[in-house]
Amino acid sequence: METRIDRIKKQLHAASYKLTPQREATVRILLNHEEDHLSAEDVYLLVKDIAPEIGLATVYRTLELLTELKIVDKINFGDGVSRYDLRQEGAAHFHHHLVCIECGAVDEIQEDLLEDVEAVVEKRWNFQIKDHRLTFHGICWRCHDRSSQDPSQ
Amino acid sequence: METRIDRIKKQLHAASYKLTPQREATVRILLNHEEDHLSAEDVYLLVKDIAPEIGLATVYRTLELLTELKIVDKINFGDGVSRYDLRQEGAAHFHHHLVCIECGAVDEIQEDLLEDVEAVVEKRWNFQIKDHRLTFHGICWRCHDRSSQDPSQ
DNA sequence: TCCTTATTTATAATCATTCTTAATAAAGAA
DNA sequence: TTCTTTATTAAGAATGATTATAAATAAGGA
């Protein structure tokens, strides 16, 4: 049976790149940490466990390559660090994020939600949308529950 | 008559900050370059024309202060540089952006457009939204016109 | 096998941003 | 006014993320 790794290998080959052991190790880490929004440094430290000889620059290069091929999404939450998410297979767009300004947690919204808005934008601004990035900042349900239980807040 | 600068001065005083000459010069540059999405370096170079003795660190500090007070919005389009926009007076949210992947132009959408989406998110994810950031990436009307007129594309 | 090209490692370099320290300016008290 | 305190600034050093460089290695094709 064809695995996700196999399909990524094909995508790389189609663009005449190889799935080297370092690249495969990096992809495996991303597969094991979906929804975790890892930074390059995070990925590097995790990859070192399964491929200790890898260099940080290689991780950066691999993440950049995967971003170009739209296998991963490079996101930025405003702290000077880029974060990397595997894009859902077949998804044409970035997914959305909920960033909690209390605890810093980042949750994901996989549903599109923007179809209607995009139709308006394409028509009214005559802009042909290829992708989008949408992040909400606010209070997550966990913090909300905590503060409603704790009268000191 | 009360000017925008006067109102910003009041906002600063209300938070016990002063509108120093350096800060005022920085604000004036932002007022003269609305919709331009200037980087800190851009602002610095422009401010130097009207206040040559200013330092880059002061510009950074001022932009950070104005961001905290929600007088300017700090935005990031994924090119390792933060950009700064004066927020429209009275606006509670970031405005949206259209980034052209052909020519790099950035246009603004001042309308909210997200009210319906936010209602869904607040309810379904039990997330109390305080702000949002929405950017569309695609082909702007200028590039679209260009390529339809130019058969070589 | 040789030859060519892609990739990696290790380290140096770069670039945006923040920090540090001493100097300066402003504001309030006496 | 003068003294005192605090806020702010300039200049440059430091930091931290990311990218470039150069030499070494690996892979693939002829």
Residue at which a domain ends, from B74, B91, B108 = B91
Same domain, B31 and B60: yes
User: How does DSSP assign B21-51, residue by residue?
Assistant: HHHHHHHHHHHHTTTS-EEHHHHHHHHHHH-
Q: Distance (Å) from CA B85 to C1' D5?
A: 35
Same domain, A61 and A19: yes
Is the CB of A13 inside 8 Å of chain B's CB atoms? no
Segment A124-147 mean pLDDT? 92
Distance CA B47, CA B26 (A): 6
Same domain, B87 and B99: no
Same domain, A10 and A81: yes
Strand D and chain A: which residues 52-71 have CB closer than 7 Å? 56-57, 60, 64
Residue at which a domain ends, from B71, B91, B111 = B91
Q: Taking CB atoms and an 8 Å limit, are B107 and A125 in contact across chains? A: yes
In percent, the amount of chain A with pLDDT more than 70 equals 97
Same domain, A8 and A79: yes
Same domain, A86 and A104: no
Same domain, A79 and A110: no
Residue at which a domain ends, from A42, A71, A91 = A91
Total structural domains in chain B? 2
What CATH number has the domain bearing residue B131? 3.30.1490.190
Same domain, A103 and A54: no
Cβ B86 vs Cβ B72: under 8 Å: yes
Range of the structural domain that residue A30 is part of: 1-91
Is residue B13 a known part of a binding site?
no
pLDDT 10s digits, B105-130: 899 999 999 999 999 999 999 999 99
pLDDT of the residue at B153:
42
Nucleotides in chain D with any atom closer than 7 Å to protein CB: 7-13, 16-21, 27-28
> How many helices and strands, by DSSP H and E, does chain A display?
6, 6
What CATH number has the domain bearing residue B73? 1.10.10.10
Closest-CA residue of chain B to A131: B137
In percent, the amount of chain A with pLDDT more than 90 equals 76
Banded pLDDT at B139 (limits 50, 70, 90)? very high
Q: Taking CB atoms and an 8 Å limit, are B129 and A138 in contact across chains? A: yes
Q: What is the four-CA torsion angle of B41, B44, B45, B51, rounded to 10 degrees?
A: -170
Same domain, B83 and B98: no
Q: What is the four-CA torsion angle of A137, B77, B55, B64, rounded to 10 degrees?
A: -10
Considering Cα of B58, then B63, then B64, then B69, what sign does the dihedral take?
positive
Same domain, A82 and A99: no
Q: Which residues contact A54 (CB under 8 A, 6 or more apart)?
A: A22, A25, A26, A44, A47, A48
Q: Taking CB atoms and an 8 Å limit, are A101 and B74 in contact across chains? A: no
Same domain, B126 and B79: no
Segment B66-75 mean pLDDT? 94
Is the CB of A141 inside 8 Å of chain B's CB atoms? yes
Segment B21-26 mean pLDDT? 96
Q: Are strands B106-109 and B128-139 parallel, antiparallel or unpaired?
A: unpaired
Same domain, B82 and B8: yes
